[in-house]
Structure 1
Amino acid sequence: MNIQVNDEPHRFTEPLTPLDLLSLLSLSAEGCALAINQVIIPRDNWPSHLLKDGDQVLLFQAIAGG
């Protein structure tokens, strides 16, 4: 299964949820937002939403500033 994550290609051998993806990429879900194919996925759906071959995932990390 091929997935683009922030415009970088990644290949996985089994179906993944967004939480699985974050874990495999060693990223924290805290302070993170996620869009799949330009649609924001609510955090409550991350454990059950299955990524598909060809999906484009954008991860946004909250940054504090001032």
Structure 2
Amino acid sequence: MITVILNNDPLELASNTTLAQLLLDLEQDKPGVAVALNQQVVARSQWSEQLLAANDRITLFHAIAGG
């Protein structure tokens, strides 16, 4: 198990969790979601390859349309 920080809250995960799996588990793998890992935006195309590590800081963003 590893502990990551998701939007400023600690979260325990299996040590081989990818960013894509985390977002799927959180039901946040939808269009309009963006992710920063350790203050670097991760392209959606890289989510399935990005393994999470202990103490990673993950920030989820939701796009909001407006006019």
Give the TM-score normalised by structure 2: 0.87
Structure 2: give runs of 5+ residues left out of the alignment. none
Aligned length: 66
Q: 4+ residue stretches of structure 1 with deviation over 3 A?
A: none
Residue 40 of structure 1 is matched in structure 2 by 41
Read off the aligned partner of 1:29 and give its amino acid letter: K
Structure 1: give runs of 5+ residues left out of the alignment. none
Aligned-pair distance for 1:47?
0.7
Provide the secondary structure at the position in 1 that maps to 2:28.
Answer: coil
* 1:45-56 map, 5 Å: 45-56=46-57
Aligned-pair Cα RMSD in Å: 1.2
Moved more, 49-58 or 10-19: 10-19
Taking every aligned residue pair, what percent have the same amino acid on both sides?
A: 35
Give the TM-score normalised by structure 1: 0.88
